[in-house]
Amino acid sequence: MAQNARLQNLGILVLCVLSFPAMTTAQQSALNLMPLPANVQTGTASLRVDSSFSVAFTGYTEPRLERAGQRFLEQLRKQTGLLFLNKPGDSGKVALVVHTDRASKEVQELGEDESYTLEVTPNGAKLDAANPLSVLRGLQTFLQLVGVSPEGFAAPAITIKDQPRFPWRGLLIDSSRHFTPMDVLKRNLDGMEAVKLNVFHWHISDNQGFRAESKKLPKLTAVGSGGQYYSQEEIRDLIAYARDRGIRIVPEFDMPGHSSSWFVGYPDIASTPGPFKIDEEWGVMDPAMDPTNEKTYKFLDTFIGEMAGLFPDRYFHIGGDEVNGKAWDANPKIQDFKKAHNYKTNEELQTYFSQRVQRLVNKHGKAAIGWDEIFVPGAPKDILIHSWRGTEALAAAAKQGYRGILSNGYYIDLMWSAARHYAVDPLGGAAADLTPEQKQLVLGGEATMWSEYVNWENIDGRIWPRTAAIAERYWSPESVTDANSMYARLDVISQRLEWLGLTHRSQPRKMLHRIAGPATPEEFAALLALAGVLEPVKDYTRGESTSYQAITTTPLNHMVDAVPPESDAGRRFSELVDKFISTSCLDGDARERLRAQLTTWRDNDAKLQPLAQRSFLVKEVASNSQDLSALGTAGLAALDAIAKGQPAPDAWKAQQLAIIEQVKNPKAQLLLIPAPAIQKLVEAAASAGACAPPTT
């Protein structure tokens, strides 16, 4: 019943959003906000932010708001370098007045009000917020408004009325495949707050390690974690840290599969005899809990009961994905059980397990959330379907009255571009055809940071800045879809996230220094230039490689671990080529910039050679470096051919395309991003009419 009331609230929110007009791209770009607010009216002039700036709170108050005020000034200090003379609440000239209507829920709930109004004038700013949660959202917007101006730091005059499009805006971090240290988690929660995400989905157990301390079942971490786990004190600390930032923590204990690490200490609940060990490899593993054994449910009753006390959130994620059934097929007793219950398939057996576990979750006061697989006939209506399969699965569930969130399309471990994730909408695809009422059952989505190839060092660079674009998808109106605007603002938010303490820009540079070893400035510049146009291979290519088999202890210190998922330099080069060709190759400025860039690439390999001689980690990318040189040469040849004013011969074109085709093959798990754009140049050079004769 309470649940229904919440859903009705959500419905009202969604309608409100739609009533706000969409902004033009120009308006979006001028404001370096991410996510873009639901409604913005820009004014003229701006509010000066200097050392005398202060913030005061009126209306409802609580310690969390005081801390938020201190943190706000601290963040403002970091992003401006100003030292503020006043503490929050000090009297004197107050630049920002925050009014809070009422308290938030004691435990943050799905669908709680996050709306706020922020008005900035040259004389001061006013943030009107429904509750502390809304205050947090509004303060982050204000921080993003403050920038450097010709006269000093300032926030533009503006009126913002804002609220989220979706109530469930999450980031999953997998702390099992690689352990995520507490400081890394905390700085990523800071990043989540900055872009208004509100659910941290903590994938805290899997085959490769059980990471949450259980006092009642201590062997889970004693022998199932390799010594890397979170104490209950640390978990409580992180939950408090998240609450201060308006973030719920939803723990996931994946079962009945993905659970080898449980069985190291408790083999009795497994379907096959032990002994078990913590898995070191990646992939879908055979071990699974025994769904036919009452011991399993007794164990889970104890375990879920304890964890339900530890994690205050209403939702409890029970996983449920990727059970291959081999362990069940191998156990005659389980086969007997299936026959006795007339289960034809292992899916039916898993349905039985899911129903039992969901009842245990309910018994301990929680609602269950799980991957698509838990959506089985007769599942209780309060479950929440977490879809890795896609909008079709989500739509099918919604049509039967089940709520869901989307992660398909937001798998940030697949190394897609920000634009590709950005184009995925939880209400897109099959969900677009749902009725308005059914659409209200789609609550949002989660970016998923599976950690096979990330650790403390490169995780920030995998999550950020792309997750800021995904956060915009979840928060901003459906009409906000301009990828160019997104990239322009993403570049700004990315730097702001570094000021906040994230390391997605600075740590890769340190990794490149490690790859290089001692180097001259010229040598290191050559390595930077190469790294700047490389991207890791996409999707699950890395895991499928036969030449490279990583396990949990494989060092993540190679070039593929250091370079960002998306090459900014590659994207800009591609845009420049498109621009050049769109002018029939007449744009002289674009031509000269292309020529300069291609020349640098052609000559880069020679500069990198000394490093490749000294460092095995550079030697690994020697082929990529030679390929870049080849691309530079091919691109220059194309420009020369274009300059001749007549289509280049077919033989030449075939030769160039063969080179480029070879370059497109991944090497050292890396792609050379400019290849397609240079192919375009070659094709333009060889195509009648594509490029007019140059005007020189």
Q: Is 495 in the site for a second copy (CB under 8 A)?
A: yes
Window 591-620: residues binding a second copy (CB under 8 A): 613-617, 619
The set of long-range contacts for 384-392, using a CB threshold of 8 Å and a minimum separation of 24, is 384/315, 384/443, 386/317, 386/446, 388/321, 388/448, 390/429, 390/430, 391/426, 391/427, 391/428, 391/429, 391/430, 391/431, 391/432, 392/429, 392/430
**Binder of a second copy out of 1, 2, 26, 83 (CB under 8 A):** 83
Window 129-158: residues binding a second copy (CB under 8 A): 147-152
| Nearer to a second copy among residue 85 and residue 658 (C-beta) | 85
Which tokens go with 148?
């450097």
DSSP string over 228-277: --B-HHHHHHHHHHHHHTT-EEEEEE--SSS-HHHHHH-GGGBSS-----
Per-residue interface string for the shown chain with a second copy, residues 438-457, x marking contact by CB under 8 A: -------------------x
Q: CA 602, CA 596: separation in Å to the nearest integer?
A: 10
| Nearer to a second copy among residue 14 and residue 418 (C-beta) | 418
| Nearer to a second copy among residue 113 and residue 174 (C-beta) | 174
- Report strand pairing: 442-449 vs 403-406: parallel
Window 35-54: residues binding a second copy (CB under 8 A): 51
Which segment (15-23, 201-209, 460-468, 511-519) binds a second copy by CB under 8 A? 511-519
Q: Is 67 in the site for a second copy (CB under 8 A)?
A: no
For the chain, give the number of residues: 696
Q: Is 74 in the site for a second copy (CB under 8 A)?
A: no
Q: CA 410, CA 102: separation in Å to the nearest integer?
A: 34
Which tokens go with 425?
């909408």
CB of 589 to a second copy, least distance (A): 13
3-class DSSP state of 205: strand
| Nearer to a second copy among residue 305 and residue 517 (C-beta) | 517
Based on the residue annotation, tell me whether 106 is a catalytic residue of this protein.
no
Q: CA 483, CA 420: separation in Å to the nearest integer?
A: 9
How far, in whole angstroms, is CA 311 from its chain's centroid? 23
Q: CA 22, CA 39: separation in Å to the nearest integer?
A: 8
Q: Is 32 in the site for a second copy (CB under 8 A)?
A: yes
**Each residue of 395-417: b (16+ CB within 10 Å) or e?**
bbbbeeebbbbbbbbbbbbbbbb
Q: Is 27 in the site for a second copy (CB under 8 A)?
A: no
Catalytic residue among 62, 109, 119, 322: 322
# chain residues binding a second copy, by CB under 8 A: 47
Per-residue interface string for the shown chain with a second copy, residues 517-536, x marking contact by CB under 8 A: xx--x---------------
**Binder of a second copy out of 186, 356, 359, 513 (CB under 8 A):** 513
Which tokens go with 26?
């120009």
Which segment (65-73, 192-200, 463-471, 489-497) binds a second copy by CB under 8 A? 489-497
Contact call for residues 403 and 110 (beta carbons, < 8 A): no
| Nearer to a second copy among residue 58 and residue 506 (C-beta) | 506
Which tokens go with 18?
């739609």
| Nearer to a second copy among residue 383 and residue 577 (C-beta) | 577
Q: Is 492 in the site for a second copy (CB under 8 A)?
A: yes
Which segment (328-336, 349-357, 423-431, 546-554) binds a second copy by CB under 8 A? 546-554
Q: Is 506 in the site for a second copy (CB under 8 A)?
A: yes
**Which of 166, 142, 146 is CA-nearest to residue 154?**
146
153: which strand partners? 148
DSSP 411: B
CB of 583 to a second copy, least distance (A): 20
Q: Which residues are catalytic, by number? A: 322
Binding footprint of a second copy on the chain (CB under 8 A):
32, 51, 79-83, 85, 147-152, 457, 491-492, 495, 498-499, 506, 509-511, 513-518, 521, 552-557, 561, 568-569, 572, 613-617, 619
